[in-house]
A and B are shown apart, each in its own frame.
Chain A
Amino acid sequence: MIDPSPTLPRKPEVRFGQQLSRGGHWRRSALFSGPAVIWLALLLLVPLLIVTGISFLTRGEYGGIEWHFTFDSYKRLAGFGDLGFDALYPVILLRSLALGGATAALSLLAAAPLAFYIARVSDTMKNVALTLVVIPFWTNLLIRTYAWQIILSPESWVTQAVHGLGIGVAGEPLYPGTLAVLIGMVCDFLPFMVLPLYASVEKIDWSLAEAAADLGANRVQVFRHALLPQIIPGLVAGVILVFLPATGQFVIPDLLGGAKTAMLGNVIQQQFASSRDWPFGSAISFVALVLVMAGLWIYLRRGA
């Protein structure tokens, strides 16, 4: 579809997009961008501002909210509730970060061999190999997650084999548990790590590795000094793309974990479903939002 004629360098003084009179320019800009901008302002920005606002209000007696400004929700989140220090929520916050981090680390370990493998197969096989990574990515997360309930159930042969090998805590089921959550997360988010990592691996200049080896570097040194710097962009993108959604996950810990594996997402859901504590749920949401914005900032800065 793209015209393959030689592309000519554009003159510095000719800038596209300024060809209209000022009035016409704004009018057309509003015509094209306006509807979506208004939509997102109304249904994304305003709701997120409402969440931020409500997080500073007080819970009403029967759910709902009272117009009373307070930092109570944040204090409670930090562990300083009405009844003195309670580590419950700080632990959940840390657990979310830890599980997100562990998911990113394990995904990276798993994605690396896969990315190198795909980069080295023949071109026709490459398409197949990539499509095979993409198919689970397009398949419903809920389905892929509940399947692990079956695989990790006490009567399954996987569980029996694992117990037979003496892995895991004797007497404690694999599911529900932290290990099940972690397995589900890695399985679900692996494609997010493989794709950007593969994109970097594909572009590796192998002559640098050969040069390093030629200059006497051992295998570890070759990887550390000649290959790793080349795949850092894909690596950072992959880690962020896995870490952020993993940390904010609700479905996976909900289906594969129990009370001991509750994460931020589960607490938010609780506050809006059973506890009806909107301000507290909003406060946790706000913290999650800030976390995401920080990750996003890193992601976009890396891109720039």
Chain B
Amino acid sequence: MKRNSLALTLSATALYLFLYAPIAVVIVYSFNAARFGATWTGFTTKWYSTLLHNSLALHAAENTLWLGVFSTVISTVLGTLLGFGMSRYEFPGKEVFGKLLYVPVFVPDIVLAVSLLLFYSIIRSWLGLLELGLTTMILAHVTFQIPFVAIVVRARLVGLDPSLEEAARDLGANEWQAFRHVILPLILPGVMAGGMLAFTLSLDDFVVSFFTSGPGSTTLPILIYSSVKRGITPDINALSTLIILASVLATIVVAILQRIKTSTRNHIK
């Protein structure tokens, strides 16, 4: 293997600094005593206590969490079944559908958002259903989460010996038992990875939420956006810091979990 030259190490360091500059700035400024502007006037933790008394932020946090949990549960179940179904059974147009599955992955958020906005308003004018709110947001989030889950799960299934399922059937398991007792435990890491991805996508999403939310269903990203538009208040930096912290922790936990899994596998070998 080649060693890294000094120039390469320096440029890599600079790029890491570039990647982390915005994150660092938000964290640092959450402790800035100044109420307005970017000037540093002293250290304080008061914005965190302000945040605890900010009912808007707390309500938004609650909405975000519910939205994330509900949409992730639905999309993980549907996406896993789809990933399994597509890898095992035929249906007309499956090949085309498999490619179309990538459309929500690539389509700009804003296009997905306005298409759902139009869809909801047409349904509303015809049937009087689907008032904008948490329900419409959940429906929207599940729509962009399903493909991610299905793609991740399908990738996991590709590496699975198909005779395992046959063996289960041969030993007396019906279709569902074979899935429940053999396939599901084996693809569980993939399902969990897909679910984590879906949950993160939901927490991060601003654009789709923004267009499909109604009064009272404000989420944290929407709250941050509107605060930014009005002029950043320091407690938003505190809020963002907490969100960043949660993401960092989640990423590290996932990374460690994956490491553990690989090391046990190597041990068995």
A contact residues vs B (CB 8 Å cutoff):
1-4, 7, 16-17, 19, 25-26, 28-37, 39-40, 43-44, 46-48, 50-51, 54, 110, 113-114, 116-118, 120-121, 127, 131-136, 138-151, 153, 155-156, 187, 190-191, 206, 244-245, 247-251, 255, 264-265, 268-269, 272, 278, 281-282, 285, 288-289, 292-293, 295-296, 299-300
Contacts and interface: CB of A to CB of B under 8 A. Distances in A.
A150 B102 contact: no
What secondary structure prevails in chain B residues at the interface with A?
helix
Contacts of A7: 161
A32 B70 CA distance: 20
Given A272-B117, A282-B118, A296-B106, A113 B15 contact: yes
Contacts of B114: 51, 268, 272, 281-282, 285
22 contacts: A1-B189, A26-B89, A33-B86, A37-B91, A48-B111, A117-B12, A131-B251, A132-B16, A135-B248, A136-B23, A138-B250, A138-B251, A143-B240, A144-B23, A150-B38, A155-B38, A190-B19, A248-B111, A250-B108, A265-B108, A282-B118, A285-B111
A58 to B, nearest CB: 15
Contacts, number: 267
B53 interface: no
Contacts of A268: 110-111, 114
A43 B38 contact: no
Given A3-B161, A36-B150, A295 B106 contact: yes
Given A39-B146, A156-B38, A285 B119 contact: no
Interface string B137-170: 0011011001100100000000111101010000
Q: Which 10 A-B pairs have the closest CB atoms?
A: A248-B108, A32-B85, A147-B22, A33-B85, A29-B89, A47-B115, A36-B82, A117-B12, A47-B119, A16-B162
B62 interface: no
A50 B115 contact: yes
What secondary structure prevails in chain A residues at the interface with B?
helix
Given A50-B118, A113-B12, A272-B117, A135 B251 contact: yes
A65 B265 CA distance: 60
Given A40-B143, A143-B243, A248 B109 contact: yes
Contact of B247 (A139, A245, A264): A139
Contact of B102 (A3, A28, A35, A296): A296
B78 A140 contact: no
Given A32-B85, A140-B204, A140-B240, A300 B11 contact: no
Contacts of B186: 1
B203 interface: yes
Nearest to A33: B85
A118 B259 CA distance: 18
